[in-house]
Amino acid sequence: MQVMRVKLTGGEPEVLTKDAGVHRAAVSPDGSFFVDTASSLTTPSRITLRKGDGTAVREIGNAASSAAFETIAWGQAELFTIPSADGKYQLPAYWVKPPDFSPSKKYPVIFTIYGGPEAGTVSNAWPALAAHYWAERGVITISVDHRGGGAFGKAGVALMHRNLGKWEMTDLMAAAAWLRTKPFIAADRIGIAGSSYGGYTTAMALTYGAGAFNYGIAGSSVTDWALYDSVYTERYMDTPSENPEGYKAGAVLTYVDRYKGGLRITHGTIDDNVHMQNSVQVIDWLTSHDKRFELMIYPDSRHGIQAAQRAHLNREAHDFWVRNLLGGKLPDVVVGVETSKPTKSDKAPRAKDAPKERERTP
């Protein structure tokens, strides 16, 4: 994503930034300057003051310039595509592999997802530090956008009308199958995690997609679109009376008898966006049918777990992955590995930038 400008009278937009990656601008009141914050998959954030025409005035900050940056064995981040099962789409993806990656080893995988319509998570931007943390410990983190995630325009998003859950699972399961064709993937240790709509996608992955995914952490999850607010749901699903088949096909409980284990559920007790009833109905089925799963309820937390409980949330998620993907033992940190150095002009291919967080979406 580049910073551009266009005349009010129309015409072609003028690109003001040149380096590949994701650029975000804070423009001065009179438009004569802007602060450009940019990064790519292999170049961490750098902040540059630019004139209104894009000319660089001075660099304000650069994460790669610190001495500490050079001491870290960063993961190997790559942007690529995965073919959909029907061959119609090349699904945008990126992964962060271990800094000492070897094709002769076996690596577990964590999918990090959101999954909502027109809400892709793949972009040519510096990955979350958690991805590098796991890479140093021998875990590949991957993100894949399905055909309705926005990369394929309105036509792709339109496929999700009356079909929430269908294409997310179709394409993410295809991505998991593609991973299993790689000799360096631990086929029995593929995890998936997300919150809100990402929690829905995770819960569906462990039920609808049971077998494609071995473990998952579902946070603050929608599990039945009949339980979510109408202003969002009916935009995509129409009303329950108009689309009963779609609501049934998009509900986690429709597929819960496929569940093979490996799910961790978290939810805040006073979540007023995705009500806790969504998780409770799945918990009820799992306990009534004596199925193994993990559960953590956060008292007095809303849709975002409150700050006082966040350290617990993060530690427990971390330990869940250590138990299930790493055999219960956290490997030594990879240090002293020669990795590619950040460059001033990264030429990696661009992908659609992840959208801004929307108000009142699951």
β-bridge partners, 107: 185
Active site residue 303: yes
CA 113 remoteness from chain centre:
3
Among the listed residues 195, 271, 279, 301, the single catalytic one is 271
Residues 145, 279, 303, 353: which is the catalytic one? 303
Q: Is 345 a catalytic residue?
A: no
Q: How many CA atoms lie within 13 A of 28 on its CB side?
A: 12
145 has catalytic annotation: no
User: Using an 8 Å Cβ cutoff, are 295 and 219 in contact?
Assistant: no
Listing DSSP states for 181-233 in one string gives TSTTEEEEEEEEEEETHHHHHHHHHTTTTBTTBSEEEEES----GGGS-HHHH
Tokens representing 272 are 């007023």
Euclidean distance between CA atoms 255 and 340, whole angstroms: 44
Beta carbons within 10 angstroms of residue 228's beta carbon: 22
Range list of H helices, the chain: 67-70, 129-136, 153-158, 166-180, 197-205, 230-237, 244-249, 277-288, 307-325
Any residues with CB less than 8 A from the CB of 179 and at least 6 apart, and which?
A: 109, 142, 185, 190
User: Out of 39, 195, 196, 279, which one is annotated catalytic?
Assistant: 196
Nearest to 43 by CA among 71, 69, 12: 69
Q: Give which of 317, 218, 318, 198 is closest to 259, Cα–Cα.
A: 218
Any idea which residues carry the catalytic annotation?
196, 271, 303
